[in-house]
Amino acid sequence: MQYFPCPFCGPREETEFHFAAEAGKPRPEPAAQVSAQSWAAYLYLSAAPKGEAHEIWVHRSCGEFFVMKRNTETRAVLATTALPGRDAE
Ligand SMILES: [Zn+2]
């Protein structure tokens, strides 16, 4: 069992978390003019790097979304931070 550090609650079991999205992926705009192929790529494709990754995760227990920097190869969590405008206490 791995523990992830929620910026709001502290370390919790990984089963309490859910991957949400790749962090820093720009939404194509204006959406009405984006091709279906480009929109599908935005929604479903990710860089999926081997090594350091920046991802958005949600802690289902508190409902907060946050950024997790982790190494996908070693599974080490390098940092977790609240999203801009959401202050962790
Ligand atoms: Zn939490």
Residue 69 scores a pLDDT above 80: yes
- Give the SS3 label for residue 37: helix
Instruction: Give the Å distance between the CA of 11 and the centre of ligand 1.
Output: 9
Instruction: Give the Å distance between the CA of 21 and the centre of ligand 1.
Output: 17
- Please state, in angstroms and as integers, the Cα–Cα distance from residue 10 to each residue in 5, 46, 70, 71, following that order: 5, 28, 16, 19
Over residues 59-65, mean pLDDT: 97
Output the pLDDT for position 89.
Answer: 62
Residue 88 scores a pLDDT above 80: no
Instruction: Give the Å distance between the CA of 10 and the centre of ligand 1.
Output: 7
- Please state, in angstroms and as integers, the Cα–Cα distance from residue 16 to each residue in 22, 38, 55, 61, following that order: 19, 32, 16, 6
Q: Which fold has domain 3-82?
A: Folate-binding fold (3.30.2270)
